[in-house]
Copies of this chain bind each other. A is one copy, B any other.
Amino acid sequence: MMTYIGSMTLCLLLFLLIMCGSVCHGGKLLVFPGEGSHWVNMDILIKALHSQGHTITVVRTTKSWYIKDESSYYSSITITVTDAMDEEFVKPIIKNVIDIQRGTSSVINIIHSQIKMFSALSQVHKYACDLATAVLKDKDLIKTLKENQYDLVLTDPAWGTGILVAHYLQLPLVYNVQWAISGEGHLTIAPSPMSYIPMTLSGHSDKMTFTERVKNMLLYLLFTVRDRLTLRPHYQAVCDEFFQPGVDFYELLQGADLWLMRVDFVFEFPRPTMPNVIYMGGFQCNPAKPLPQELEEFFHSSGEHGVIIMSLGTFVTEFPHDLADVIAAAFAQLPQKVIWRHKGDRPATLGNNTLLVDWMPQNDLLGHPKTRLFVAHGGTNGVQEAIYHGIPVVGLPLFFDQYDNLLRLKERGGAKLLSMATVDKNNNFLEALQEVLDEPSYRMNMQRLSRLHRDVPMEPLDTALFWIEFVMRHKGAAHLRTESNKMPWYSYHSVDVVLILLGVVSVLILLPVAIVRYLCFRKCLKRKMKSE
């Protein structure tokens, strides 16, 4: 009974603390969000922070894509830039990737595209550094930022602008993170044995064959080299220009106070982590709200067969016509109703059971009791929502981490994956839909993941808010952060110690051998001289 009372008292105290915090001690946050779909996540976090009484300033550019300059829950600072990773920058890259995935490119084209992708990534980080330089050079802006006395910088470390500015302003740093500059976030902060941690984009699970482990190691080496040669130099140049000598960008990247990870271990394979990594996977998910009447009627009309939801995310605005036709034709053969978020022309083969929409309340649709299946591209948000609502998935991964995301569902028996290269062949798509609809294990596995995901002592969003406010209250979280990133790599990995120990052991073994050989040699020499 003591603990009931204890936990209720705690809850009440926490509630009062939050209430009090929101009224009297609202903090000030300076936010450097990511562009594109990364903003979707950050926006949710910012809204929640605002509702707790905190004041948020978002730094955006004149080329910002989704990030509006006016909002009811944040104010913004707009930096003028001539170039940036905007929608026009991303469109041709995505078209390229889809062509490669579908195998409609020649080998020369594929190599050319891969080189272009590498160079585009480097360009993205160059833009991030240009933005940091623009901020740091603007004396009036820096003065304002200093006067504002922010409590912390919140940023998405897929780009490094916020990290550089936070160091300049000497502010605590909190990440809203799944990717950090060049790869999955954990790779930067936690020990990651390549024997069972699949590299980003490797397409491996945490159980690898020997060949897969070799491939994984090679991918790790490739990422490391790419990182050192093409990405870090941009950021290091900013460090060298604006900071004391000896400030290493990678140390700054690793040195954030808190890593709010957009995953949890229902989604991610279990792996080593660090004390300052807080898991908030699925923080964007909510119980479904009632649907607009039109959609509700559509759901109702599906009867016992239920509804399939299809969306390929925010990036894919134009989908290849022939592929759209194949997909529409497959849907037309099913007894289910289908809601398809589709922006291109109306496919010729579209059935009466399929409703095309420009936008959809995805979370509410997935949470509807009649939803049977989710056809998804594997973006983090969609995958997390599928887990939250326990809906099985047919995955059509396109690029970036989408295959890796969907693989995590597949490994748990909750999804079937199709590649873009074969989706339009031999009724592949239709068969995949039918298999996931008819085989109960897919649904049962997703429902199990949903139960595990929801069984937490505190909701992910509340956890994130608690820890952000923790950093504000204590002006950082130094006690949760190792300083091992300040060691040179050979010390961190004990290479120096091992070499010294091996040296000592060698001397201890070889010295007596050498002495014995020398003595023998002298004896022989003497004997020889005598005999002569």
Contact = CB atoms under 8 A, between A and B. Distances in A.
B7 A196 contact: no
A245 B453 CA distance: 36
A493 to B, nearest CB: 7
Interface residues of A, number: 69
Interface in A441-470: 451-452, 455, 457-459, 461-463, 465-466, 470
Given A270-B479, A274-B273, A452-B474, A459 B193 contact: no
B487 A191 contact: no
A217 interface: yes
Contacts of A195: 484, 487, 491-494, 497
B3 A8 contact: no
Given A458-B458, A474-B452, A8 B15 contact: yes
A48 interface: yes
Given A458-B458, A465-B3, A271 B196 contact: no
Nearest to A206: B482
A11 B13 CA distance: 11
A15 B7 contact: yes
A6 B14 CA distance: 13
B270 A492 contact: no
Given A196-B492, A273-B273, A497-B217, A14 B457 contact: yes
Contact of A214 (B466, B470, B483, B500): B500
A451 B451 CA distance: 34
A274 B193 CA distance: 13
Contact of A271 (B275, B462, B466): B275
B494 A194 contact: yes
Interface in A6-59: 6-8, 10-11, 14-15, 18-19, 48, 51-52
B462 A214 contact: no
B48 A3 contact: yes
Nearest to A277: B273
A207 interface: yes
Nearest to A496: B210
A272 B51 contact: no
A3 B494 CA distance: 46
Contacts of A481: 270
A1 interface: yes
A3 to B, nearest CB: 6
A466 to B, nearest CB: 5
Contacts of A483: 196, 206-207
A213 B501 CA distance: 11
Nearest to A488: B195
A111 B452 CA distance: 53
A314 to B, nearest CB: 24
A463 B151 CA distance: 29
Interface string A491-519: 11110111011000000000000000000
Residue picked from A217, A271, A273, A457, most chain B C-beta under 10 Å: A457
Contact of A487 (B19, B196, B463, B474): B196
A315 interface: no
A276 interface: yes
A443 to B, nearest CB: 18
Given A51-B1, A51-B2, A51-B3, A213 B491 contact: yes
A497 B1 contact: no
B274 A272 contact: yes
Interface in A251-267: 265-266
A458 B474 CA distance: 18
Contacts of A266: 479
A210 B498 CA distance: 11
Given A272-B191, A274-B270, A479-B452, A494 B457 contact: no
A190 interface: yes
A508 to B, nearest CB: 14
A480 interface: yes
A343 interface: no
A206 B474 CA distance: 22
A217 B18 CA distance: 46
A505 B216 CA distance: 17
Contacts of A451: 474
Given A8-B11, A269-B482, 12 more contacts: A2-B48, A10-B462, A14-B457, A193-B494, A196-B482, A206-B482, A207-B483, A214-B501, A218-B501, A265-B479, A272-B273, A451-B474
Interface of A: 1-4, 6-8, 10-11, 14-15, 18-19, 48, 51-52, 190-191, 193-196, 206-207, 210, 213-214, 217-218, 265-266, 269-276, 451-452, 455, 457-459, 461-463, 465-466, 470, 473-474, 479-484, 487, 491-494, 496-498, 500-501
